[in-house]
């Protein structure tokens, strides 16, 4: 019989400290709740005191100083070298756009039609698409150009394409060297990123004010504003593509003795070409998104009829040119994507017979030359025949809109009251009716709770700037509308994003609507929203939601979809239900995407602030619009624009710091 020996029990050494369980700190949500609770208690006793509210048309000395600056700039146009340079640059843009307009879109007097008529322009565009992308894209391009004339907007459509391509060409000339610079230098990346953040955070209406001042109105302002809005995506995405070329490949080129420029030209740029094309694609889409806003500075293109319809509250009149902008966006998106894919295919030795391809292009080239000749010497091929198709579609849309308003007016009014009374009014009362110092302290405390010092420091700077520019009360009203709209955007993002991630059919069905929502100019859907809800803050919030929700939904859907299938299989094997899987596995693991979606939603909503000022939202949006429309109020518009930028930077930095703090 064997005995089992057990080791004797030993008592712990006297000097050995007893392990202590780590202290668990309270969740950030709890601390945020404490801050808000204290804020509400103090607000009850101080409501309406020292809110810094001022009469709408009252101007401060700082506003008058900005207006004086504008007047000085205008007075020094003939003597100031900087103003002379910017106006000369603007005139060059005007001359380039005017040259292409007379060539393709408008009469080149004394010739009563353009140098190349609609048939020749359509043939040239289709041939280019055939050469770079294939016959399917060529048919799409031809059909798109025909639709421009069929619906009665040929000249406006070509004008928009001209402004877009001039702005994109300049974006490439300036943006690609900057992208190469930030890809090659970490020191350059940080300051350039700050500038890009500013360009993307600043609402477009805000920088229209200085652009008009320094470049004038018309095509010059349209090109420059489009350029500023469209350049950041190219720089960011192209720089990322060049920087992420395989280090092994770079080491191999270095060992072969290649210089920096040889490596860039023969290795990095070719290998980053797909990413660069994505950046170019995003730049083109951003340029088209400026179509309507460019009309505010008398820019040519489809934005003008959309803007005129807004003035008349003509839903159908805005729908037709707005739909053509969407058609143009789809055409350019599919063409650039297909051209990139075809380039990759040919580089790998595919793409079919080169001889057959040359024959097809040669025959198509002959047809194109004949079409150009006809468009120069035959009036029917030079000017698109007049049709009533566009007006008929507009009338049908107006009839449908009237029916919707009559049928669902009671429901929409109830929805507006529910959101306004239940969400917007309480939040606005807390933010805008608190003493300014109480709101500032509460925002600083929340910034520290969510992002610690990384969020606190920029929040201090931004709040100090908002206080200095002396539109505090309007800034708090704008912040309340922004937060309510973002909250509703995230509700939609959670519902539709999770649904798309878990159902391929839902993804296929919903994604085209999201693409359309991102492509349609804001003014197009602002008109039916205005017809449904009337001029109010809720109208501005609804338009902001339509503008911001697609990006947030896509980001959240992609993040949830990226959760490891192995993790999902493990949760299902343990008996988790669908709701448990969503709430305890997918959403927690997609937390980074959720934070990014909320961040982008906030910025997109803030970008709609000024447009909201046109439909009764008031606050900073109204101040910017007032400064834009009346020369004596220019200073108010400039100060309000700067305040919007500070709000955007503050929100962006808090969101980013919160995400980074959570990740650590």
Position 96 scores a pLDDT of 92
Q: At which of 361, 387, 413 does a domain end?
A: 387
Do 166 and 265 have their domain in common? Answer: yes
Residues 272-285, mean pLDDT to the nearest whole number: 79
- Does 571 have pLDDT greater than 70? yes
Q: At which of 387, 420, 440 does a domain end?
A: 387
Q: Which of 87, 83, 74, 209 is nearest to 630 (CA)?
A: 209
In a domain, 54, yes or no: no
In a domain, 35, yes or no: no
In a domain, 305, yes or no: yes
Across 73-87, 125-139, 437-451, 606-620, least confident range: 606-620
- Does 417 have pLDDT greater than 70? yes
Do 354 and 447 have their domain in common? Answer: no
Is 430 or 249 the better-scoring residue by pLDDT? 430
Q: Which of 286, 192, 174 is nearest to 233 (CA)?
A: 286
Q: What value, to the nearest 5°, has the Cα angle with vertex 175 and ends 173 and 176?
A: 75
Position 454 scores a pLDDT of 87
- Does 8 have pLDDT greater than 70? no
Residues 561-590, mean pLDDT to the nearest whole number: 81
Report the C-alpha gap between 74 and 68 in whole angstroms. 10
- Does 358 have pLDDT greater than 60? yes
Position 9 scores a pLDDT of 47
What's 436's domain CATH number? 1.10.3720.10
Position 542 scores a pLDDT of 86
Write down how long the chain is. 664
Mean pLDDT of the chain: 82
Across 5-9, 228-232, 335-339, least confident range: 5-9
Q: Which two tokens stand for residue 302?
A: 């489809």
Q: What is the number of structural domains in the chain? A: 2
Do 335 and 452 have their domain in common? Answer: no
Contact (Cβ atoms closer than 8 angstroms) between residue 386 and residue 120 = no
Do 409 and 382 have their domain in common? Answer: no
Report the C-alpha gap between 478 and 624 in whole angstroms. 12
Expressed as residue numbers, the domain containing 625 is 397-663
Do 176 and 102 have their domain in common? Answer: yes
- Does 1 have pLDDT greater than 60? no
In a domain, 27, yes or no: no
Is 530 or 167 the better-scoring residue by pLDDT? 167
Position 521 scores a pLDDT of 66
Residues 6-35, mean pLDDT to the nearest whole number: 60
Position 662 scores a pLDDT of 57
- Does 5 have pLDDT greater than 60? no
In a domain, 164, yes or no: yes
Is 88 or 195 the better-scoring residue by pLDDT? 88
Do 189 and 154 have their domain in common? Answer: yes
Do 328 and 469 have their domain in common? Answer: no
In a domain, 601, yes or no: yes
Q: How many CB atoms lie within 10 A of CB 144?
A: 22
Burial class of residue 481, CB neighbours in 10 A (0-12, 13-18, 19+): buried
Across 173-177, 253-257, 660-664, least confident range: 660-664
Do 369 and 406 have their domain in common? Answer: no
Percent of the chain residues topping a pLDDT of 70: 91
- Report the chain's terminal Cα–Cα distance, integer Å: 58
Name every residue whose Cβ is closer than 8 Å to that of residue 268 and which is 6 or more positions away in sequence: 183, 242, 245, 250
Q: Which of 648, 499, 644, 660 is nearest to 595 (CA)?
A: 660
Position 255 scores a pLDDT of 72
- Does 520 have pLDDT greater than 80? no
Q: Which residues of 119-140 are buried (b: 16+ CB within 10 A; e: fewer)?
A: bbbbbbbbbbbbbbbbeebbeb
Q: Which two tokens stand for residue 293?
A: 């806003």
Position 370 scores a pLDDT of 94
Q: At which of 341, 369, 387 does a domain end?
A: 387
Helix (H, G, I), strand (E, B) or coil at 299: coil
Position 10 scores a pLDDT of 46
Position 153 scores a pLDDT of 93
Contact (Cβ atoms closer than 8 angstroms) between residue 157 and residue 363 = no
Residues 210-226 pLDDT 10s: 888 888 888 888 888 88
Do 164 and 254 have their domain in common? Answer: yes
Position 55 scores a pLDDT of 77
Most confident of 8-12, 20-24, 121-125, 380-384: 121-125
Do 334 and 451 have their domain in common? Answer: no
Is 347 or 580 the better-scoring residue by pLDDT? 580
Do 119 and 237 have their domain in common? Answer: yes
- In Å, what is the CA distance from 661 to each residue of 15, 448, 452, 592, 601? 37, 11, 8, 11, 20
Q: Where residue 21 falls among pLDDT bands split at 50, 70, 90?
A: very low
Report the C-alpha gap between 556 and 547 in whole angstroms. 16
- Does 663 have pLDDT greater than 70? no
Q: Which residues of 194-208 are buried (b: 16+ CB within 10 A; e: fewer)?
A: eebbeebbbbbbbbb
In a domain, 600, yes or no: yes
Position 546 scores a pLDDT of 85
Do 356 and 407 have their domain in common? Answer: no
Residues 461-485, mean pLDDT to the nearest whole number: 91
- Does 81 have pLDDT greater than 80? yes
In a domain, 1, yes or no: no
């Amino acid at each position: 019989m064997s005995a089992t020996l057990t080791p004797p029990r030993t008592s712990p050494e006297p000097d050995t400290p007893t392990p202590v369980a780590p202290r668990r700190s309270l969740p950030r949500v709890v601390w945020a709740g404490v801050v808000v609770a204290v804020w509400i208690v103090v607000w009850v006793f101080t409501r309406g005191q020292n809110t810094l509210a001022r009469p709408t048309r009252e101007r401060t000395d700082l506003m008058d100083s900005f207006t004086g600056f504008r007047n000085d700039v205008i007075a020094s146009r003939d003597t100031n070298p900087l103003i002379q340079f910017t106006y000369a640059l603007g005139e060059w843009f005007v001359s380039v756009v005017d040259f292409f307009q007379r060539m393709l879109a408008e009469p080149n007097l004394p010739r009563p039609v353009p140098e190349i008529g609609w048939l020749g322009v359509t043939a040239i565009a289709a041939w280019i698409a055939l050469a770079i992308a294939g016959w399917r894209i060529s048919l799409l391009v031809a059909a798109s150009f025909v639709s421009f004339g069929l619906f009665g907007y040929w000249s406006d459509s070509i004008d928009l394409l001209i402004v877009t391509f001039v702005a994109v060409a300049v974006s490439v000339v300036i943006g690609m060297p900057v992208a190469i610079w930030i890809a090659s230098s970490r020191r350059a990346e940080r300051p350039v990123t700050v500038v890009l953040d500013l360009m993307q955070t600043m609402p477009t209406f805000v920088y229209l004010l200085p652009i008009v001042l320094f470049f004038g109105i018309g095509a010059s302002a349209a090109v420059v504003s489009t350029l500023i809005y469209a350049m950041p995506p190219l720089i960011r995405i192209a720089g990322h593509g060049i920087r992420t070329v395989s280090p092994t490949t770079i080491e191999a080129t270095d060992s072969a003795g290649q210089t920096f420029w040889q490596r860039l030209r023969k290795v990095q740029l070719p290998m980053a070409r797909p990413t660069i094309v994505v950046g170019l694609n995003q730049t083109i889409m951003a340029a088209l998104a400026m179509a309507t806003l460019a009309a505010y500075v008398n820019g040519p293109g489809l934005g003008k009829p959309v803007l005129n319809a807004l003035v008349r509250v003509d839903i159908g009149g805005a729908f037709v040119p707005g739909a053509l902008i969407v058609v143009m966006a789809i055409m350019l998106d599919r063409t650039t994507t297909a051209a990139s894919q075809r380039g990759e295919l040919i580089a790998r030795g595919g793409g079919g017979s080169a001889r057959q391809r040359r024959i097809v292009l040669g025959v198509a080239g002959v047809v194109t030359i004949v079409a150009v000749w006809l468009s120069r010497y035959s009036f029917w091929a030079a000017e698109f025949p007049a049709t009533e198709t566009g007006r008929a579609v507009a009338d049908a849309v107006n009839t449908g809109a009237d029916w919707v308003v009559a049928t669902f007016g009671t429901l929409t009014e109830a929805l507006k009251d529910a959101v306004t009374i239940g969400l917007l009014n309480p939040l606005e009362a807390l933010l805008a009716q608190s003493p300014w110092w109480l709101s500032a302290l509460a925002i600083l405390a929340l910034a520290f709770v969510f992002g610690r010092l990384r969020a606190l420091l920029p929040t201090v700077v931004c709040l100090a700037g908002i206080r200095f520019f002396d539109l505090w009360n309007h800034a708090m009203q704008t912040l309340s509308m922004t937060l309510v709209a973002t909250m509703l955007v995230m509700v939609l993002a959670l519902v539709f994003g999770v649904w798309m991630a878990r159902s391929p059919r839902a993804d296929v069905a919903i994604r085209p609507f999201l693409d359309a929502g991102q492509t349609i100019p804001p003014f197009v859907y602002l008109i039916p929203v205005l017809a449904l809800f009337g001029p109010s803050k809720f109208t501005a919030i609804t338009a902001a939601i339509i503008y911001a929700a697609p990006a947030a939904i896509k980001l959240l859907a992609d993040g949830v979809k990226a959760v490891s299938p192995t993790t999902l299989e493990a949760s299902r094997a343990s008996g988790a239900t669908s709701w448990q899987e969503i709430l305890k596995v997918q959403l927690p693991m997609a937390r980074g995407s959720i934070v990014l979606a909320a961040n982008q939603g906030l910025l997109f909503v803030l970008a709609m602030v000024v447009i909201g000022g046109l439909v009764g939202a008031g606050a900073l949006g109204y101040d910017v619009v007032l400064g834009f429309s009346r020369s004596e109020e220019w200073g108010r518009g400039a100060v309000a624009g700067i305040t919007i930028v500070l709000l955007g930077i503050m929100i962006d930095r808090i969101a980013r710091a919160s995400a980074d703090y959570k990740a650590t």
